[in-house]
Amino acid sequence: MTHPGLTTNSLSLHHHYFIPNYRSFSSQSQILLIPSFAKPKPKPFLRLTRRIIEPVQPRFIVSAVHQSEPERLPPPNAQKEDLLLKSQQQVSQLRNRVVFGLGIGISAGGIVLAGGWVFAAAIAAAVFAGAREYFELVRSRGITEGMTPPPRYVSRVCSVICALMPLLVMYLGHIDVSVASAAFVLAMALLVQRGSPRFAQLSSSIFGLFYCGYLPCFWVKLRCGLAVPALNTKLGATWPVLLGGQAHWTVGLVATLISISSIIAADTFAFLGGKTFGRTPLTSISPKKTWEGTFIGFCGCIVTSVVLSKVFSWPTSPLSAIGLGILTFFGSVFGDLTESMIKRDAGVKDSGSLIPGHGGVLDRADSYVFTGALAYSFIKTFLPFYGV
C-alpha cells in the first residue's frame, strides 16, 4: 500500500535506502539512517518526517534523563552527627545533674545543721516554688480538659499561704490553727471570684494547700520541735561550743539526718536495682519503676537507718530504727507516685525547669513530702522519751 503523498516514481528509489513507515514512529523517536555513499535530494516526505521527529527527540531525552536520576541520599555522616549530638546532650545533662545535685546536697546539709529560722526559711522558699509548680500543673491542658482550674489570683494566694505556714509553725510551735485559717481564706477567695465557683476549683486548691503547705511543715516540727538533746550522740561531745556544743545535737537534728539519708538511700538503691535487675513493672503511673528495684530500695533504706542509728546512738533500739526506716521508705515511694500521677495527668515530664538537670522543685522533693509527717508521728507516738 502506498502513501497518498508518494508517487510511483518516488517509490522506485526506495530499494537503495531504508525509509521507515511514518506510522511506526513512536515516542522513542527512531532516527532515519541514510547511507553516506548516496546523497539524494531530500524528498518532501523526508523533510516532513524530520520536522516531526527532531522537535520530539530532545524533549524525550531530557524527560528520560530526569526520570533516571537517582534520589538524593543524605550525607553518609549525617547519622553519625545526630548520634554525636545526642551523646553530647546526654553528657551535658548528666554534668548539670551531678553539679547541681552536689550543690543542693551540700547546701541542704548546712541548712539542716543550722536549724532554727534558717531551716524554716529554706523550707518556706522550697514550699513557695513547689506550690507555684503545682498550680501550673493544675492549669495544664491535660488536667483542664476534665475540670476547671482555680483562677490565677487564687493560685497566687494559695502559694503565699503555703510559704507562710512553715514560718508560722516555727513561730507558734503548732500547725492546726494556721491550716484552718489558711483553708478559710482560700475558700473565701474562691467564693468571691467572678462567675460561678466550681467544686473542682475548691478541691484542687485545698489539696494544694495540704500537699504543698501542710505536709512540708512537719519537717520544721521534726527538726526544730524535737529539742530534746541526744546525749548519747558521740558527735555532740566533739561539736564546737561556738556552734552550740552538745546541746546542738538534738533528737530533731539526728532524726532529720537519718530520715533524709534513708530517703536518698532508698532512691539510689531503687534506681540502681531497677536498672540492673528490674523486670516487673510496679505500677502504670510510673512505668520505669519495678518491683525488683523497689525491694532493693526498701532494703537499702532499712540498712541505712540501722547503720546511722548506730553511728548517732539514736534511737537506742534497733527495732525502732527498723520501724523508722520502713515508714521512711513507704512515705518516699508514696510521695514519688503521687507526684508522678499529677504529672501524668498533666501530660508533662517534669514539674518545672528551675533546677538544671533535675527539673522542678517537686521533682526533687516529691519523696520528702509525706516522710516528714510519718517520721514525726512515729517518734512522738511510738518512741518513749523520743527514743533517747
* CA 9/CA 12 separation, integer angstroms: 5
* CA 74/CA 266 separation, integer angstroms: 47
Q: Give the H/E segment covering residue 240.
A: none
Close Cβ partners of 256 (under 8 Å, ≥ 6 residues apart): 112, 219, 222, 223
The percentage of residues in the chain with a pLDDT greater than 70, rounded to a whole number, is 77
| C-alpha dist (Å) from residue 270 to 23, 248, 291 | 84, 33, 9
Task: Tell whether the model's pLDDT for residue 70 goes beyond 60.
Answer: no
pLDDT digits (tens, 9 = 90+) for 274-333: 999 989 999 888 888 999 999 999 999 999 999 999 999 999 889 999 999 999 999 999
Phi, psi torsion values for 285, nearest 5 degrees: -65, -40
Please give the single-letter amino acid code of residue 91. Answer: V
| Its pTM surpasses 0.85 | no
Q: Under a CB-based contact definition with an 8 Å cutoff, are residues 276 and 268 in contact?
A: no
Same domain for 383 and 242? yes
Which of 225, 242, 263 is a domain's end point?
A: 225
**pLDDT value at position 40?**
52
- Asked if the structure places residue 88 within a domain, the reply is no
Task: Tell whether the model's pLDDT for residue 239 goes beyond 90.
Answer: no
- Asked if the structure places residue 185 within a domain, the reply is yes
- Asked if the structure places residue 4 within a domain, the reply is no
Q: Which range scores top for mean pLDDT: 145-149, 262-266, 346-350?
A: 262-266
Task: Tell whether the model's pLDDT for residue 73 goes beyond 60.
Answer: no
Please give the single-letter amino acid code of residue 169. Answer: V
pLDDT digits (tens, 9 = 90+) for 138-186: 888 767 676 778 888 888 989 999 999 999 999 888 777 777 787 888 8
Same domain for 385 and 247? yes
Same domain for 176 and 162? yes
pLDDT digits (tens, 9 = 90+) for 176-194: 777 778 788 888 878 777 6
Q: What is the pLDDT averaged over residues 355-360?
A: 78
Same domain for 372 and 238? yes
- Asked if the structure places residue 103 within a domain, the reply is no
- Asked if the structure places residue 9 within a domain, the reply is no
Q: Under a CB-based contact definition with an 8 Å cutoff, are residues 19 and 46 in contact?
A: yes
Which of 225, 258, 283 is a domain's end point?
A: 225
Q: How confident is the model at residue 32 (pLDDT cuts 50, 70, 90)?
A: very low
Give the orientation angle of helix 199-209 with respect to helix 116-138, to 10 degrees: 150
Phi, psi torsion values for 313, nearest 5 degrees: 55, 35
- Asked if the structure places residue 278 within a domain, the reply is yes
Same domain for 300 and 156? no
* CA 333/CA 351 separation, integer angstroms: 17
Same domain for 271 and 385? yes
**pLDDT value at position 41?**
53
Say which range, 65-69, 225-229, 370-374, has the weakest mean pLDDT. 65-69
Q: Under a CB-based contact definition with an 8 Å cutoff, are residues 257 and 219 in contact?
A: no
Same domain for 217 and 233? no
Same domain for 311 and 266? yes
- Asked if the structure places residue 205 within a domain, the reply is yes
Q: Which residue has the cell 460561678?
A: 196
**pLDDT value at position 43?**
53
Same domain for 362 and 233? yes
Q: What is the DSSP string of 83-145?
A: HHHHHHHHHHHHHHHHHHHHHHHHHHHHHHHH-HHHHHHHHHHHHHHHHHHHHHHHTSHHHHT
Same domain for 374 and 265? yes
Q: Domains in the chain: how many in total?
A: 2
Q: What is the pLDDT averaged over residues 94-114?
A: 86
Supply the range of the domain harboring residue 233: 229-388
Which of 171, 204, 225 is a domain's end point?
A: 225
Same domain for 384 and 246? yes
* CA 249/CA 98 separation, integer angstroms: 30
Q: Which residue has the higher pLDDT, 44 or 372?
A: 372
Torsion of CA 351, 355, 359, 362, to 10 degrees: -40
Beta partners for 281?
290
Same domain for 344 and 277? yes
- Asked if the structure places residue 118 within a domain, the reply is yes
Q: Which residue has the higher pLDDT, 113 or 72?
A: 113
